[in-house]
């Protein structure tokens, strides 16, 4: 693997981790934000704004 490929992989990893930390970090400071559960109910599918009643994904 050459230096250019490593650089692109590093930038991509940094961008993905930055995006995830921005979305979930900003949700933790907002009282109207809740984590959305997947259909199985055991894993997170994303975030939803509003009350907790609409926090389950179809």
Query: Could you report the per-residue pLDDT of 35-56, keeping only the tens digit for each?
Result: 777 877 777 777 777 765 554 4
Question: Which phi and psi (to 5°) does residue 38 adopt?
Answer: -75, 175
State residue 15's pLDDT score. 96
Q: State CA 13 to chain mean position distance.
A: 14
pTM over 0.85? The answer is no
C-alpha pair distances (Å), 31 with each of 4, 49, 56: 43, 9, 17
Say whether pLDDT at 9 is over 90.
yes
State residue 35's pLDDT score. 76
């Amino acid at each position: 693997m050459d230096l250019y490929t490593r650089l692109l992989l590093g930038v991509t990893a940094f961008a993905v981790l930055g995006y995830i930390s921005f979305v979930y970090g900003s949700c933790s400071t907002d009282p109207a934000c809740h984590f959305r559960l997947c259909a199985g109910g055991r894993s997170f599918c994303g975030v939803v704004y509003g009350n907790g009643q609409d926090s389950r994904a179809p």
